[in-house]
Structure 1
Amino acid sequence: MKTGHNALLAGLLAATALAAPGTALAGTASRASTLEARLEKLEEEMASLRAELAEARATNAQANARADAANTRADAAVAQSENALQKVAAIENRPVPAPQPDGFRSGATTIKLGGYLKLVASNTRFSNGSVATNTLGRDFYLPQTIPTTMGGRGFSSQDFTAKQTRLWLNLDTQVSGHTIQGYLETDFQTTASAAQSVAAGGSQRTTNGYTLALRRAYMQVGRFTFGQDWSTFQYAAALPESTDYVGGAEGTVFVRQPLIRYTAPLSRHLTLNLGIENPESALVTAGATATLESGTDRMPDFTARIVYSRKRGEISLAGLLRQVRGESTDSALVNNVTSAGAVGTGLTATGLGGSIAGKLFLNGSKSSDIRFMATYGQGIGRYVGLNFAPDAVYNPATNSLTNVNTFAALVAARLSITRRMRVNIMGSYQDDRYDKALTLSQISGLNKKAWSAAANLFYSPVKNIDLGLEYRHGERTVANSAAASGEATGQLDRVEFAAKYSF
């Protein structure tokens, strides 16, 4: 039994010995396969790492290239900035040129030229009679020229003129630390030779030549003005913007004459003007209509005006005191022109008047405003409405000068529509009352009333060009002993175009 058991054990050992090498070989093969797999995976990872490394190197190279380019641009910008700074420094180090004054110099005087070129084309309808060619009533609105012929036929006219063209010089001279200023202004409208001929410069048939006429010429030294200017009694800023030469003539004070004026600022907003001005009496003889400039005045006209100014506008109060004087031979007026050497009796009357006027701005840009003037007095006829009424009437029956009372008013509105377009609306009126001692036949033919209204549209395509279209209606009333009402009237209707170039 024991022997059998040993034999079985020996057989198992032998079988185990035979099987052991095969098992060992199988384990070795399995490990090799695992190692190969791990090696392949490692190689794949190495390849991936190499690719990532290559990509990182490429990205780094691009970044370096961009950095180099940025550095290059920065260096260029720095260089450009330094160059610009050098140029700025060079400019700043240059001496600043002195500002060039307007105009030109002649010695110590600066001279500036200004003015405007103006064309006016008008079509006018007069209701009761005609107006002669080459007269002022054809050139601009002058109420005393409106025909009042009873039963007269209507008359129409078409006129073109450039007479209102204006030239002026501004003068400024420095003398011993003081400034002397001068002003000279001319146009072709106010020439004394209203009816032009070929000998006088050319008619409308040929060359339309007109004489240059003086408007204003004065010098200012300190607070004094010496020369010819608007009367101190007039507030020129109230004149409306119009295609017409004046615009509402009957309602405004309108006089240019030689004067001496003293101007004194009383405060920041208040200015006083005192003047002594050229006297001239405008007289008519009862029963006649011709106005006589006596030329025998012996006292200047005294004027005063005070102006209150603020940002929104200004108000003017003016006064006039004068002596109206004429000479008579106890039955007729005489003067040193028509009766040279005649010795007559001096006749006088007192002229006294007041005027309130102003301009009120409607907006902050001052492109829209209201302008107005109201005037009243006796013996002030030549100052108002371009001498629409006389200063006084000589009455041969009493050998005296009788008073004429005058009231006049003007109002105008300037309304800006756009920066280049504006509308002006205006109305004016004058009423003259003669002494009750004069009969209707003694004042027949003399002006009693006038009024007008107008509206226009102005367009300025550029700064220096103004184009305007205006319609105006005006009426004149005169005393007329032949009329049942004691008056005769005439009307004017005018459409007018104006083109102006200012320089």
Structure 2
Amino acid sequence: MQTLTTRARRAPLAMALFVALLAPGLAFAQTAKERELEARIAQLEAQVQALIGAQQQQQATLAQTQTTLDQVRVAQAAPADGKPKIQSSPILSAGNPDGRFSYGGFIKVDAMVTDTSDGEIADGSAGRLFYLPGAIPVGGVDESSADIDTHAQFSRFWFAADGEVQGHKTRAYLEFDLFGGGSSNLGNQASTNTHALTLRQAYVSWDKWLAGQTWSNFQDVAALPDAVDFVGPTEGTTFVRQAQLRYTSGPFSVALENPQTVVGSYRSTTRTTSDDGTLPDVSARYTNKGDWGHFSVAGLARQLQHETTTTDASGTGFGVSVSGKYNLSKTDDIRYMLTGGSGIGRYVGFALGADGTLDATGEDIDATGVLAGFVAWRHVFDPKLRGNLMVSRAQFDNDTDWTGFGVTRSAQSIHANLIYSPFPKLDVGAELIFGNRELESGADGDLRRLHTSVKYSF
């Protein structure tokens, strides 16, 4: 019994001793596995750290590249002269390296109903497309006529290339519209309405010099009214585009312009456009600008010349024009032009009157006096709606002993319009026009027109 008891007491001790003897082996085996696992974890951590480092380096490279690109874009958008560039290199392969190319224009659709008191304006006449006082029929007897005309011929586009070459600012400019008549036998309203391309302006300028075809230096384009019609108060407006050489310095400009003489035949309405002049028309202008608007005065001196196989007629012409725009408020302005002189008929109202008239022998030109002008009031009702009211008149001092009684003595018109812009660059307009032309004989004719248009600028 004592032996069993002793054995029972000795069993736990033996078990404890057995466990103690095995424990070092167990501990050694567990430590080896842990070390293997830790080694693998450390290897994975090293690989992850390598990947993170590579990613960070790649992100840093991308950030540096983006910064460089942003700097290039900023440099291109804001060059030293402060003018934004459209592209980093010229579109034209022959262009200057720092040139800036631009393009613009508008699409304009015109539709009008015209009623004249003394006969119909001839088909194909420019007077069917816009207000042309010289085309108003005069002298008909109870021949009132109404016509509807629609066209898109005054749609326009232009190209310009601006740059700086060896310190000289340069510009090349081309402008066209479709007011060139039918370009083929199919160019009529019965079929294709095809129209030819018309050159409006083509010039190059460098610093203060300009050479090429553009608006006459005698014309103040900035004073033209906001009209639905192509011109608006045509008879009171100086309106000429022609080749010239111009020099501008600050508010002053002087130009040598293309000489042409519009000559009326002796006691006849027949007129001839002569290019026999040997001296250019000389124009000079001064313009003063400010927040209030602008004021401009221009002078013109010219030679009148007409040659035939047997005669050589000549004369002189001169003129003065005062024009400008005065801002009455943020929503109202007044625009005006007053032109007077002798022998400058072709510069006023699309040659409404001749520059002069030949005498009976065809050896002398009697210059015709003219006084013409307009006043226009513009009011902005809100950002989308504006309106204009225009009054215009031209008066000619004809010597009826030379001209006869069939030439234009005067023309006048009143224009009122509303122009709605549902969104920027789109104008929908309607203009009422009342015009009158009177001859030296006292006969006259009236024009009444509703002119509508849709115009989108781009």
Q: Same fold (TM over 0.5)?
A: yes
Q: 2:207 is matched with which residue?
A: 222
Distance 1:378 1:361 in 2: 32
Number of paired residues? 382
Once the two structures are superposed, the pairs formed by residues 66-215 of structure 1 within 5 Å of their partners are: 94-95=67-68, 96=70, 97-98=73-74, 99-100=76-77, 101-102=85-86, 105-106=91-92, 107-108=95-96, 109-189=99-179, 191=180, 194=181, 196=182, 198-199=184-185, 202-215=187-200
Distance 1:173 1:280, change over 3 A: same
Contact 1:143 1:476 in 2 (8 A): yes
Partner of residue 27, structure 1: none
Residue 328 of structure 2 is matched in structure 1 by 362
Aligned 8 A contact 1:230 1:255 in 2:
yes
SS at match of 1:250: helix
Structure 2 counterpart of 1:82: none
Shift of 1:464: 1.2
* Distance in 2 separating the partners of 1:474 and 1:204: 26
What aligned pairs does 1:40-79 form with structure 2 within 5 A after superposition? none
SS at match of 1:237: helix
Give the equivalent residue in structure 2 for 1:54.
none
Map residues 14-29 of structure 1 onto 2, 5 A cutoff. none
Structure 2 equivalent of residue 287 of structure 1: 267
* 1:403 to 2:367 alignment: yes
Q: Following the alignment from structure 2 to structure 1, what is the Cα–Cα distance between the partners of residues 270 and 140?
A: 20
Judge conservation of contact 1:150–1:488 (CA < 8 Å) in 2: no
Matches within 5 A, 1:192-271: 194=181, 196=182, 198-199=184-185, 202-265=187-250, 271=251
Deviation, 1:133, is 1.7
Question: Structure 2 length as normaliser, TM-score?
Answer: 0.80
- Aligned match of 1:379: 343
Contact 2:228–2:451 (8 Å) recurs in 1? yes
Alignment of 1:326 with 2:299, yes or no, is: no
Does structure 2 retain, via aligned residues, the 8 Å contact 1:187–1:213? Answer: yes
Deviations 1:261-292 (A, max 9, x none): 00011xxxxx0000000000000112221210
Q: Which amino acid aligns with 2:299?
A: G
Displacement after TM superposition at 1:362 (Å): 2.2
Query: Does 1:475 find its partner at 2:436?
Result: yes
SS of the aligned residue for 1:417 comes to strand
> Shift of residue 91 of structure 1?
9.6
The structure whose Rg is larger is 1
2-structure distance, mates of 1:252, 1:150: 27
Does residue 449 of the first structure (1) align with residue 410 of the second (2)?
Answer: yes
Aligned partners of 1:204 and 1:229: how far apart in 2? 31
Deviation at 1:398, TM superposition (A): 7.6
Helix, strand or coil for the counterpart of 1:410?
A: strand
Structure 1 position 400, deviation (Å)? 2.0
For 1:299-327, what per-residue CA distance to the aligned partner results, in whole angstroms no more than 9, with x for missing partners? 10000000011111110000000011112
Secondary structure of the residue aligned to 1:137 is helix
Check whether the contact 1:197–1:203 (CA below 8 A) recurs between aligned residues.
no
Q: What does residue 453 of structure 2 align with?
A: 498
| Alignment correspondent of 1:351 | 317
User: Is 1:312 aligned to 2:292, yes or no?
Assistant: yes
Task: Name the aligned partner's letter for residue 215 of structure 1.
Answer: R
Partner of 1:65 in structure 2? none
Contact in 1 for aligned 2:116/2:445 (Cα 8 Å): yes
Paired AA for residue 120 in structure 2: S
CA contact (8 A) 2:312 2:363 kept: no
Q: Distance in 2 between matches of 1:153 and 1:304?
A: 46
The offset of 1:249, in angstroms, is 0.5
* One-letter identity of the residue aligned with 1:126: T
- Cα distance, 1:297 vs structure 2: 0.7
Cα distance, 1:414 vs. partner? 1.1
1:174 Cα offset (Å): 3.0
Q: Secondary structure at the match of 1:94?
A: helix
Q: Deviations over 1:340-366 (max 9, x none)?
A: xx2x332211101100000111224xx
Corresponding residue for 1:35?
A: none
Q: Once the 2 structures are TM-superposed, how far is the Cα of residue 184 of structure 1 from its aligned partner?
A: 0.8
SS class of match (1:487): coil
**What letter is aligned with 2:327?**
F
Unpaired segments ≥5 residues, structure 1? 1-85, 266-270, 328-333, 335-341, 480-485
- Which letter does structure 1 place at the counterpart of 2:226? E
**Identical aligned residues as a percent:** 35
Gap change, CA 1:418 and 1:92, over 3 Å in 2:
farther
Which amino acid counterpart does residue 287 of structure 1 have in structure 2?
A: R
Contact 1:179 1:221 (C-alpha < 8 Å) held by counterparts: yes
Contact 2:314/2:363, CA 8 A, preserved across alignment: no
- Structure 1 residue ranges (4+ consecutive) displaced by more than 6 angstroms after TM superposition: 90-93
Contact 1:468 1:499 in 2 (8 A): yes
Partners of 2:175 and 2:342 in 1: CA distance: 31
TM-score scaled to structure 1, two decimals? 0.73
- The CA deviation string for residues 205-245 of structure 1, in whole angstroms up to 9 with x for no partner, is 00101000011111111100100011011101111111111
C-alpha contact (below 8 Å) 1:278/1:301 kept by paired residues: yes
Kindly indicate whether the alpha-carbon contact (under 8 Å) linking 1:403 and 1:435 is maintained by their aligned counterparts in 2: no
Aligned residue among 368, 392, 417 for 1:428: 392
Query: 1:224–1:260: 8 Å Cα contact kept in structure 2?
Result: yes
Q: Secondary structure at the match of 2:225?
A: coil
Kindly report the root-mean-square deviation, in angstroms, between the aligned alpha carbons of the 2 structures: 2.1
- CA deviation after TM superposition for structure 1 residue 152, in Å: 4.2
